[in-house]
A = this chain, B = another copy of it.
């Protein structure tokens, strides 16, 4: 699909600049600050900038909504193999997950792609604060996760601020 405009040339040019002044080639594999951040994939949220993370500091897991249940595989690896001992969860205002239901998305997929998506739980939510509280509970109660400090924030896309939920 070479006729399609792609972002990759710009990514490669930006990476060229990044690598010219890169000075962090000797960082250890395990995160230095022993923390794993679980956040939404939203384009407006840059977890590193918003939380002050440098390369090497923290694992960052991101998915649609920053949903805990979709991060378990990665969290187990983070804790069991790479020594993180704290989880920070970040959901955010104006999240796309507030705008649809499993039923509406499945219907859209059926109409536009001609496929059935009944086997996928898309994990939308109706209440932002409740989504953080619910996800912390999922993490606290999961048998394959360690008993570590878990903090949940809402990131405000309008102001760049985080507010603590729990």
User: What are the 3 closest A-B residue pairs judged by CB atoms, nearest first?
Assistant: A14-B52, A22-B160, A64-B74
User: Can you report 20 residue pairs joining A to B where beta carbons are below 8 Å apart?
Assistant: A1-B147, A1-B148, A6-B149, A7-B35, A13-B52, A18-B160, A22-B160, A27-B44, A43-B58, A43-B59, A44-B56, A61-B62, A61-B63, A73-B121, A76-B105, A76-B109, A77-B96, A77-B97, A80-B108, A117-B144
Whether B64 contacts A43 by the Cβ 8 Å rule is no
Within 8 A of B (CB), among A73-93: 73-74, 76-78, 80-82, 85-86, 88
Q: Which residue of chain B has the shortest Cβ distance to A7 in the bound complex? A: B35
Whether B44 contacts A24 by the Cβ 8 Å rule is yes
Interface residues on A, range: 35 or more
User: How many angstroms from the CA of A140 to the CA of B26 in the assembled complex?
Assistant: 35
User: How many angstroms from the CA of A17 to the CA of B53 in the assembled complex?
Assistant: 13
